Amino acid sequence: MRVIRKGFTLIEVLVVLVVLGILSGIAIAKFVTTKEAAYLASMKADLRNLAIYEQNYLIESQGSYFAGNGAAQGFVSTPGVTISATTDPGPPPSWHAIATHDKTAKTCSITTSGTSAWDIDCP
């Protein structure tokens, strides 16, 4: 006569735990890279917004850019992002800026080439 088995064997439980461990390891790795990409995206967005502030300031000040974090001009960066802009008197006058985030070691920079052309780089 056969005994009816109720439950799982130890081997079946261990196999399920190993598979779940592998899947969670993959998911956690994807989550970490997604967070890093979000930090970089917020820095890039702030640099783009700063570039627009710089263009508007150039028009209003008849040919000069501002330096610093832009707070005096009304620019507010995303929480956790710090921006530092530097002006180059020229000729022609230009500016560049660096953005950092307090939750990543990576930095993004923006360089200008003309009044309305810029390049954002996040190595």
**pTM (two decimals):** 0.76
| Domain-wise residue ranges, the chain | 10-121
Per-residue pLDDT 10s for the chain (123 aa) are 677 778 889 999 999 999 999 999 998 888 888 888 999 999 999 999 999 998 888 888 887 889 999 888 889 999 999 999 999 877 778 899 999 999 999 999 998 876 668 889 998
Q: What DSSP assignment string belongs to 33-101?
A: HHHHHHHHHHHHHHHHHHHHHHHHHHHHTTS----BSSGGGT--PPTTEEEEEEEE--SSPEEEEEEEE
